[in-house]
Structure 1
Amino acid sequence: MTKTRLEAFSDGVIAILITIMVLELKTPHGTSWEAIKPLLPVLVSYILSFIMLGIYWGNHHHLLHTITHINSRIIWANQHLLFWLSLIPFATAWMGENNFSPITVAAYALLLDLCGGAYFILLRLVEKTHSPATRLHEPLKKQERKGLISVLTYTLAIPTAFIHPLISGALFLLVAAIWWIPDSNIERTIRREEEIMSNQK
């Protein structure tokens, strides 16, 4: 399997997940604010999950771009990540339809924790395909540190949901801010290596 096929499959799964989530948004029965107001929790949970999936999509793309060869461990680690991501529409709907009750927010935090852990595993496996002497080693190590911080933050968001769901929401947004812009060092490093290889020919 080539990394192009792996990336195309992953892109397709994430696109389907976003489609499933948007189908959960029901049309309000009326044109007044009162008709829209009950749908706001569902809309807010959709926006949050759309952002999360978009961030995973962007960073996943950059991560796979660093791969020089695919092995079975990377394939299954990628499937592991997609499995947990596939549960986001369920957790999103449950949280939104129950007005962000503590148990639903805690469950959402647990799911994000599992997604973050799965991404961390994939990141580690991709990192192992590169020699410590390569230029990509340092950007990937930086990604690894961000991944560890994310998992710890999501873990903290589980119990804080029972103190107040907004605390967990703030932690979700904190992780989103950390990953919002994919690491440009990866692209620069890849371009630099491609230029060096081109000059050597």
Structure 2
Amino acid sequence: MSKKHVSPARLEAFSDGVIAVIITIMVLELKVPVHDGLAGLTSILPTLAVYALSFTFTGVYWINHHHLVHRTDQADERTLYANLFFLFWLSLLPFFTGYLLDMKMSSFSVLLYVLLMIMTGASFLVLRLTIGRYLRETGRLEQEDAAAERKHWISLGLYVVAVLCSFPYPRIALGIVALVMVVWVLPTAKIDAIEHCVDVHNEKQQQT
């Protein structure tokens, strides 16, 4: 394997482009309701709910991908392949979202949707561990990295529970998937708030 490294900025730019296409494809799947008024809007609420779930799912990964890639100053071939592995599974989301909607959220379609969540989560964990290995070797691994890795394993465990629920209770399985999204969204908001406070503090110090 070649030991040549590329800039992580190039990796992030490519990933941003792929994720933008994924979101665009999902938006194109939304159809205008046949009936006008409140009745027509109500008829597509399940479609909008699934779209919102898939959109949030993609957005959370985009945010965490941004934070993760910014932790490293290089991207070797292991990182590039791990990133492609992650993007492959994430790129299947529009198809399985459409399948879920076309099958009216049947147990089997929910099962496939949750299995995709597992594969996407596992592939992102591979990317996290790959970058974490470099951070550990350079002495830059922080406590937050270990906490994020633990949260990742917990998320995969919740997805397994969702798989078990998919056949008897498909809507509960989707609820568990939504719960995982909440688990990841809340800490992200907290991190952003902390970073903002640090920036404000640094600005005040520079002014004094």
Give the TM-score normalised by the residue count of structure 1: 0.87
List aligned pairs for 1:90-109, cutoff 5 A. Answer: 90-109=95-114
- Structure 1 unaligned spans of 5+: 196-201
1:32 correspondence with 2:30:
no
User: Could you say which residue in structure 2 is the equivalent of 1:184?
Assistant: 191
What per-residue deviation string (whole Å, max 9, x for no partner) do you get for residues 42-82 of structure 1?
22211110010010000110000101211100000000000
Question: Which position in structure 1 is the counterpart of 2:133?
Answer: 128
Per the alignment, do residues 133 and 125 of structure 1 end up closer, same or farther by CA in structure 2, a change over 3 Å counting?
closer
Match of 1:158 among 150, 163, 184: 163
Query: For residue 153 of structure 2, what is the aligned residue in structure 1?
Result: 148
Quote the offset at 1:7 in angstroms. 0.4
> Counterpart of 2:40 in structure 1: which amino acid?
A
Q: Point out where structure 2 has 5 or more consecutive residues left out of the alignment.
A: 1-5, 203-208
Which residue of the partner structure matches residue 88 of structure 2? 83
Superposition RMSD in Å: 2.2
Cα pair distance change 1:132/1:177, threshold 3 Å: farther
Would you say the 8 A contact 1:127–1:137 is kept in 2? Answer: no
| Alignment partners' CA distance in 2, 1:147 and 1:9 | 24
Could you tell me how far apart the structure 1 residues matched to 2:175 and 2:90 are?
20
Moved over 4 A (4+): none
Deviation at 1:118, TM superposition (A): 0.3
> How far off its partner does 1:101 sit?
0.9
Displacement of 1:133 in angstroms is 7.8
Question: Does the 8 Å CA contact 1:13/1:82 hold for their aligned counterparts?
Answer: yes
The residue type equivalent to 1:130 in the other structure is L
CA contact (8 A) 1:44 1:96 kept: no
Corresponding residue pairs, total: 190
Q: Percent identity?
A: 38
